[in-house]
Amino acid sequence: MKKTAFCLVVLLCGPCSSVLAEDYILSMPPIFSVEQLTAMLHPLAARLSKETENDISILLARNIDQYTAEVLHGNIVIGYENPSIYVNISNVHEAIASAVTTQHNTLSKGIIISRPESGISGFEDLKGKKIMIVSRESSGGFLSQKLTLKEKGIDVEWDCQLTEAANHREENVIISVSVGDVDAGFISEYALHKADQYIAPGSITSVAKTAPLPNWVVSISRKMPQVQKDDLLEALLSLTPESPALKALGISAFKTASDADYDIIRDIIE
């Protein structure tokens, strides 16, 4: 059996050399700290290296633009990214597996939160309000709400005052809403209690749930040989909720996915 190897490149300063035939680089968009990203990806790299007998190393880009560029240049061969980033690289990468939440679902809803005394009780009440979103790339923290509000006749970019959360963290959205810095916030339905230790009890409330959208996706280079694709997918699908790889990512499983699953994201961001 081939020896498993790991290599951590903390910050990417320039173009990488092409990967070898059986040496693959795994990465994800740098929306968390270097320490968090390393902790999230290392167990997955270890498991995939062992199961596929390929040498899978980790690379962390400085920002999302650089992550995207390295994927497009063929340097990042295996990616774990949110849907909006995936559709931007899908000409060179293809979806093979979607994250499954602890609710056994590959779809994730968003929610709209506000303070109980805000006077916001429905979608129409959001017009003209200051709203904090996770980021414009976040499915649960922006795109889900954008889609639902569009269906209600509200153009969130035009009709509301949007700001993005510091470090693109859902906890920062919750805290900002709870202390009154903004009128409302957009987060994923699973994040409602993420900041409970930092806010006063009862200081936020969920106003509404919004459209279910595809979850994070594992994508691979379209140039990868089919046998390697099949091995990777088999390894991903074999992971159990108790595996260190899934625990580190905060999900319960992977499920087979296809590019067409993310057409709804393309429709939203067009």
Supply the angle between the helices 226-237 and 34-52 in degrees, to the nearest 10.
Answer: 110
**103: confidence class by pLDDT, cuts 50, 70, 90:** low
- Both 194 and 219 in one domain: the answer is no
pLDDT (tens digit per residue) in 13-62? 444 433 344 799 999 999 888 999 999 999 999 999 999 999 999 999 99
On whether both 73 and 112 belong to a single domain, the answer is no
Q: Are residues 12 and 97 in the same domain?
A: yes
Residues facing residue 110 across a β-bridge: 188
Claim to verify: residue 126 and residue 257 sit in the same structural domain? no
Domain of 245, in residue numbers? 8-105+215-269
Domain harbouring 96, CATH code:
3.40.190.10
CA distances from 261 to 140, 145, 215 (A): 16, 19, 10
pLDDT tens for each residue of 69-85: 999 999 999 999 999 99
What is the spatial distance between Cα 229 and Cα 53, in angstroms, rounded to a whole number?
Answer: 13
Residue from 42, 215, 190, 184 nearest 122 by CA? 184
Q: How many domains does the chain contain in total?
A: 2
Q: How does residue 203 score in pLDDT terms, banded at 50, 70 and 90?
A: very high
Give yes or no for a contact between 219 and 88, defined as CB atoms under 8 angstroms apart. no
Amino acid at 34: V
Residue 2 lies in a domain: no
List phi, psi (to 5°) of 201.
Answer: -55, 135
Same domain (yes/no): 132, 144: yes
The reply to whether 195 and 114 lie within a common domain is yes
